[in-house]
Structure 1
């Protein structure tokens, strides 16, 4: 029996560095996070009197019902989680995780029509189910969920899924507001605002559509968005991205918010997952990812974690952005897009997550909640965290998959 196995059998804790090199230990951590989500997504409805129903057909007339839990909702973090669950199931060859994503999507499509009918009658209330599925207005409403549906559609060929995919593609390509140069933007909080988050809410979907349809226009638009967002949001002096750009003021925001930088890096890497090897913009995207990695590497803390405001060490260390950076760097190394020497940044980040942010029950600490834009830096400093906020679950699972891959292929 090997020494590490014997120590674990005897109940003796191994140092973190040993765990990071043990692929089975990496898998155990990732599955712990994913299994918590599987166990706590109910996929049902709840009423004000705490009655529950498995389908919308069971809801009594006139009763106000809501989706029972965040993990069962239709919101962009759910799309990120579905993509991660599909990736985890494919990597581990465990249908439990791919089934989670399939069940989530089916729950929405099998039940949203009931609420759509209520909406047409003017019925609205707080927590109205599937509102973003029924009413697509901005990229948050369709980009990430649409990308996850494209992944599910590879195995479940429902016609209503394909109809939604085409609807989302039309919205992103032809309906969503853009600046004069074609950069995707949104009408809030000011007309027009460019959000770093929106690179993720568009590009991974566009890349998947390019792969699904063979239409290079989707790839071209995705590459163009990477260039445009870098033009408006890259802070050359600090080598980081700002969170937003106000078109009316022609002015960048003040904060190098961690998760906005994470969304941007994640979007580029997911574009590279599907971008053809011979696409003329591919090398430029890789160079853009590399430039961003060199920028955020200067902000990594001694624990391996990254801060809520990347270049402000007095802001808290934040889980979701750290996981996004770990995934992106490890993915790039695993796929051969990045030099292998960058892996240490990802490994230290993963070690920090395992040691400080992932609880024994699989819940995540210090995940920043959903965040708007603000002109003052204190807004980002003081943005609350919630235990196991669903903005962090998908990225942590994705980070763990790529760390598993690296350690499995580079055993010491």
Structure 2
């Protein structure tokens, strides 16, 4: 802790007398999600990462949310109006407006439960596979190059034949495919994920700084105005999900995805707030407010990048520690988290992003669950650092 405090002081980051541990953050935030389950546990992209995050808190820290999560997941399969029930009973579900935000991401919760309960409920895997194969790989709205697209544009831009890309869909539309690819060692699904990584990035990543625009209109070749923080978080986490499909690491598309990830990491690190450790609502607009969910998403991705040797430890150690300090500062005594932007469409200017509200109870429609991802990965990072130190000492003793 002493060296960490020195680092924070050197970076002009305000410190508190007792920085919460990752386990304490996970317990406070997770308990708050459970207490406010009507707001945070629902079939949608925000509910997906809350539930998945609660399972990760269980796995990493032994915090037992299993019975509450089982109750909610079972309700989605027994209520005839719910997606889970419709999927298990072969009922038609309309595709909707986006590949992952309403239907496509939430089954990661069922896949997580299936893996953590010794495959006790085959319906969990069935839900995940049916959504992946029918509603994600079968997604009908695409650009000519196959990239998952939408109709919803932004002010001043018109849509033509599903010509709009949202950065959000990199995570919401690809994560389930990536995780199933790993679970089933399915190279075909993996290649679909990697191809989408490259085409999305080709349209949305600014090669001058590595950061992603929120949107792109293929009709006229325009990017939207801004490099939204949480949008970049969705993309950053999506790269990690793709790169963890290690059975594909010899393919050229995998190698290109790694370069995209590394380019984005370097760009994001430059915009970390020096006196807080968090990142801004619009990443490269330092006058916009400091946004917590983007910080959590960047943090979990930086950590996994370092621990997988995709990013150099020495370059990102301070980025990680400062982001953690900034994130912890947003966690209140009752487990609520401040500074999370509500869900948002593609906006026309910086001022519109700056005006987005940050009310806690509506933040599940955004990225609140990523705080649990960050806590779980920060705990792993601490273990990783201890192992590095032990290895350094071992080598030093050998050379004496």
Q: TM-score, normalized by length of structure 2?
A: 0.81
Question: What CA distance in whole angstroms lies between the structure 2 residues aligned with 1:104 and 1:134?
Answer: 21
| 1:375 paired residue number | 348
Q: Does 1:38 align with 2:34?
A: yes
SS at match of 1:144: coil
Selected match of 1:393 from 368, 371, 375 = 368
Q: Does 1:105 align with 2:77?
A: no
Deviations 1:359-402 (A, max 9, x none): 11110111100101123332212111112511333111111111
SS at match of 1:36: helix
Q: Is the 8 A contact 2:331 2:338 kept in 1?
A: yes
Q: CA deviation at 1:18?
A: 7.7
Q: How many residues align?
A: 353
Deviations 1:280-300 (A, max 9, x none): 133332222111011011111
After TM superposition, list the pairs within 5 Å mapping 1:301-320 onto structure 2: 301-302=273-274, 303-320=276-293
Q: Does 1:84 align with 2:53?
A: yes
Q: CA deviation at 1:229?
A: 1.1
Selected match of 1:180 from 122, 126, 144 = 144
Selected match of 2:380 from 395, 402, 405 = 405
Let me know the Cα RMSD of the aligned residues.
2.6
Q: Is the 8 A contact 1:176 1:186 kept in 2?
A: no
Deviations 1:334-379 (A, max 9, x none): 2333211212212101101112x11111101111001011233322
| 2:169 paired residue number | 198
Q: Does 1:361 align with 2:334?
A: yes
Q: Does 1:325 align with 2:298?
A: yes
Question: What CA distance in whole angstroms lies between the structure 1 residues aligned with 2:16 and 2:337?
Answer: 21
Larger RCO, structures 1/2 (Cα 8 Å, 6+ apart): 2
Q: Is the 8 A contact 1:17 1:351 kept in 2?
A: no
Q: Is the 8 A contact 2:249 2:255 kept in 1?
A: no
Comparing 220-229 with 205-214, greater Cα deviation is found at: 205-214
Pick closer, same or farther for the CA change 1:257–1:150 going to 2, 3 Å: same
After TM superposition, list the pairs within 5 Å mapping 1:121-132 onto structure 2: none
| 1:164 paired residue number | 127
| 2:189 paired residue number | 218
Please list every run of 5 or more consecutive structure 2 residues that lacks an aligned counterpart in the other structure.
Answer: 3-13, 87-91, 154-158, 390-400
Question: What CA distance in whole angstroms lies between the structure 1 residues aligned with 2:207 and 2:146?
Answer: 22
Q: Does 1:25 align with 2:27?
A: no
After TM superposition, list the pairs within 5 Å mapping 1:223-234 onto structure 2: 223-234=194-205
Q: TM-score, normalized by length of structure 1?
A: 0.79
Pick closer, same or farther for the CA change 1:19–1:287 going to 2, 3 Å: farther
Selected match of 1:286 from 258, 269, 273 = 258
Q: Is the 8 A contact 2:43 2:103 kept in 1?
A: no
Question: What CA distance in whole angstroms lies between the structure 2 residues aligned with 1:361 and 1:263?
Answer: 27
Pick closer, same or farther for the CA change 1:274–1:149 going to 2, 3 Å: farther
Question: What CA distance in whole angstroms lies between the structure 2 residues aligned with 1:346 and 1:91?
Answer: 19
Q: Is the 8 A contact 2:230 2:367 kept in 1?
A: no
Q: Is the 8 A contact 1:183 1:229 kept in 2?
A: yes
SS at match of 1:185: coil
Selected match of 1:351 from 313, 317, 325 = 325
Q: Is the 8 A contact 1:238 1:295 kept in 2?
A: yes
Q: Is the 8 A contact 2:43 2:106 kept in 1?
A: yes
